[in-house]
Amino acid sequence: MRELIVTEMVSLDGVMEAPGGEAGYRNAGWTFNEIEFDPAAYELKDTEQEGAGALLLGRTSYQAFAPVWPQMEDFARYNAMPRFVVSTTLDTDDEHWPATILRNLEEVRALKAGDLGDFDGPILVHGSGTLVKSLQEEGLIDKLHLLVFPVLLGQGKRLFSEAELSAEHLTLEQHESYSNGIQKMVFRIK
């Protein structure tokens, strides 16, 4: 069984919307606003790229990343690995950043089971707020890689589902604090 890892930048109050500055959100770019850059805090992203086998995205995140990530040298490994997009509405993938379109969570289960895709290593999910909530509700997430920023944003899309779910117990596998107040937390879901 392939491991499914959700990796996110999140505010202390759980907002994951527009960390890099995407348009349409009042606090867009909050990962860079008044938070001093500390490269050590982002080493998790390099480690993830090296160990991952595939990238899984929701439609909205895929369409936001596809025009940008192929030109970014920092994401060379992401650009080389297989990509999968969960969408019921996407008709075709982006020819410059090809991906396999999955239509439902049963296909995600098949991907986790190794029945889809030819790759080794875990499956990473970036952004993809709606998809993450659905994955959580179906118990498909194995680990959380969180960079928690020392900011309260109040309004915005929350990372976790608000559905009435049974409690999920987590085991903290890694934790680091950085000079700029960012906290790295790696949790395994029991």
**Domain parsing of the chain, residue ranges:** 4-189
Is the predicted pLDDT of residue 24 greater than 90, yes or no? no
Q: What is the pTM of this model?
A: 0.95
Task: Please report the pLDDT score of residue 21 as a whole number.
Answer: 85
11's CB contacts (< 8 A; 6+ apart) are 30, 148, 149, 151, 152, 153, 156
| Mean pLDDT, rounded, for 42-48 | 90
Task: Please report the pLDDT score of residue 75 as a whole number.
Answer: 86
100-102 and 170-177 as β-strands: parallel, antiparallel, unpaired? Answer: unpaired
| Mean pLDDT, rounded, for 101-110 | 98
CATH 3.40.430.10 for the 4-189 domain, yes or no: yes
Ramachandran bin of 27, using left for φ above 0, alpha for ψ from -120 to 50, beta for the remaining angles? alpha
* Amino acid (1-letter code) at residue 140: L
* Chain position carrying tokens 């118990």: 139
Closest C-alpha to 160, from 149, 177, 144: 144
